[in-house]
Amino acid sequence: MIIDNTQRRCDPFLMDISNINGKAWDGEAENGSAWARIASDEDIKEAREGKPKLRVTIDKNIPLSWISGLQGKHVLSLGGGGGQQTPILAAYGCTTASVDCSHEMIERDRIALERFGLEAQLFVHDMSSLPFFSDSSFDAVISPVSLNFVEDIGKVYKEVRRILRPGGAYIFGIANPALYLFDDRLLAKGRMKIKYTLPFSDTKSLSEKELRKRIARGDTVEFSHTLDTILGSLTSLGFAITGFFSEGSSFEPIDSFLQDCYLAVMAIRGEN
């Protein structure tokens, strides 16, 4: 059963950011986003054999060492709907839940779970607030690149800390803030021109007219964040960073300029 706690309104400027991005990702799912392609038979077979392939960045799988021992444990896929992460975690033997702001992405989780005879709790909700989960109820939270769709990631960090058990792992991907320097229209044509200052915010860096156009096109509303916010806010809450890697974007104009386009972090919640 899918629990949908969102409220969709007609005027996008009357909706919160989570609802705007939920509608945008509904469109991404319907248009065949790579993140909305349901896990394959081979993906599920490998997960059942103890070799799950999970991504929190664009292409590179997270190391198996980051998730070893999670069989039989409670794991949340946060902002990771789309029919990939959730069924793979369930096939790996995790007691799994999935939260995503997009109904269509969660619907793909439901379809995948049904196809492979797996189970998980499914919620359509803002990832910044998780009132349906009790304190210390998860052993791990795994979040593919989604924090750039949240204005205040400190709220997400606090909720993750609350629902994680002491010693639990928070594994997430996020875009390098430097990616938001460039004019995205020119970038789509393979031309790189610095246009914005950092930290970037669609709600502050763009004019109201530009923002309205983005939302009308079904684009996501995004935020670059600062490294101090991404890493400093995490450690200030008592998380210890125990794993890290970066990778490119698979888009040559960017990768020729910046190799560390996406960052993957593993952090462990402290005992206090």
Q: Are strands 74-78 and 2-4 parallel, antiparallel or unpaired?
A: unpaired
Asked if the model's pLDDT at residue 158 lies above 70, the reply is: yes
Query: Is the pLDDT confidence value at 10 over 50?
Result: no
The beta strand positions in the chain, using DSSP E, are 2-4, 74-78, 95-100, 121-124, 138-143, 164-175, 239-247, 262-269
Write down the mean pLDDT value for the chain. 93
End-to-end CA distance of the chain: 35
Which tens digits make up the pLDDT trace of 95-129? 999 999 999 999 999 999 999 999 999 999 999 99
Q: What angle, 0 to 180 degrees and rounded to 10, lies between the N-to-C axes of helices 85-92 and 103-116?
A: 40
Residue 21 has pLDDT above 80, yes or no: yes
Domain boundaries, the chain: 2-175+222-269
Among 176, 180, 234, 175, CA closest to 202: 180
233-261 tens-digit pLDDT: 999 999 999 999 999 998 888 888 888 99
pLDDT tens track for 69-94: 999 999 999 999 999 999 999 999 99
Which architecture does CATH list for 2-175+222-269?
3-Layer(aba) Sandwich (3.40)
Note the pLDDT tens digit of each residue in 34-43: 999 999 999 9
pLDDT of 54 higher than 50: yes
Say yes or no to pLDDT of 172 above 70.
Answer: yes
Q: How many CB atoms lie within 10 A of CB 43?
A: 19
Tens digits of per-residue pLDDT, 185-214?
888 788 889 999 999 999 999 999 999 999
pLDDT classification of 4: cutoffs 50, 70, 90: low
pLDDT of residue 17 exceeding 80: yes
* pLDDT for residue 51: 97
pLDDT at 229 over 50: yes
- pTM attached to this predicted model: 0.93
Can you say whether residue 216 is alpha, beta or left, with left for phi > 0 and alpha for psi between -120 and 50 degrees? alpha
